[in-house]
Structure 1
Amino acid sequence: MTRPPFPPFTDASAADKVRLAEDGWNSRDPARVVQAYSADCQWRNRAEFVSGHAEIVALLTRKWAREHDYRLIKSLWAHQGNRIAVRFAYEFHDDSGQWFRAYGNENWAFAPDGLMTRRIASINEAPIAAADRKFLWPLGRRPDDHPDLDSFGF
């Protein structure tokens, strides 16, 4: 299996890779998302360390069971060779209806086939009022004309 675009990344192909990842995550479908990762991909997600497809799917399943109405924007920060650095923000609410905005950074490494072999994510979140939400598109893929992270100052 391959997953274009392939490293080494150009500015355009790195930006495409980031948008494809954002689209996958906004599907909130662990089986779809995991297809972008190698079978032995290593993750650090906050303080949790997972490895391989089964553990990634389990983490994402737990995540989206508690993070309702999840909407994410990713932004290319830097790239070189087979590595990409990303900034992101996402909004969700919990079972009580409390909204949150999470901010973070990810470092990605890719195999020549375009599958991600390593994902290191640092994430912080803060409660927000429902009226302070910024990511208001219908669930699913962010519309192309929706503002990006820089537009919000995130």
Structure 2
Amino acid sequence: MTFTRLPEISPDEIIAHMNDPRVTEHMPLATFVWDEAFCGKFVGMKEDCWQRDGLGHWAILGDGAYIGWGGFQKEGEEWDFGLVLKAECFGLGARIARKALDFARSDERIPFVTFLLPPSRKHLKGLDRLGARLVGEVDHSGSTFLKFRLDTK
């Protein structure tokens, strides 16, 4: 598993990934069809995070092939961790999260991470195994999410 930057990935790959209904099933903010213009805007926004915060979302590669994206994004004073994998790679989530969280533990800027999951997600034992605890419900862009926190220090 390797992490690289999103501009290294073909927009066509990201667009196909993000238009898969199996991927967006539990993404209440994904209410539109991805196209080349939106993909460019999305990648640009994620690169802006790298410029502003020195950290952001990565493209994730498995054996050199794109399998999804994820990483850390600053939300106010908190670092939120997100992970969006291609449907055929869903089983790799725990392994990728552990690698990303090892990164967070080694970064002094990140005393804890948060995770926002929609209430439609019922399989949450992975977060429990990581040591994350439920903080409560929060509103984000008009949708309700379950917020979890994991201390990294």
Q: Tell me the TM-score range normalised by the shorter chain.
A: 0.3 to 0.5
Q: Taking structure 2 as the reference length, what is the TM-score of the superposition?
A: 0.34
Q: Which has the higher contact order (CA 8 A, sep 6+)?
A: 1
Name whichever structure is richer in helix by fraction: 2
TM score, norm. by length of structure 1: 0.34
Of Structure 1 and Structure 2, the greater strand share is in 1
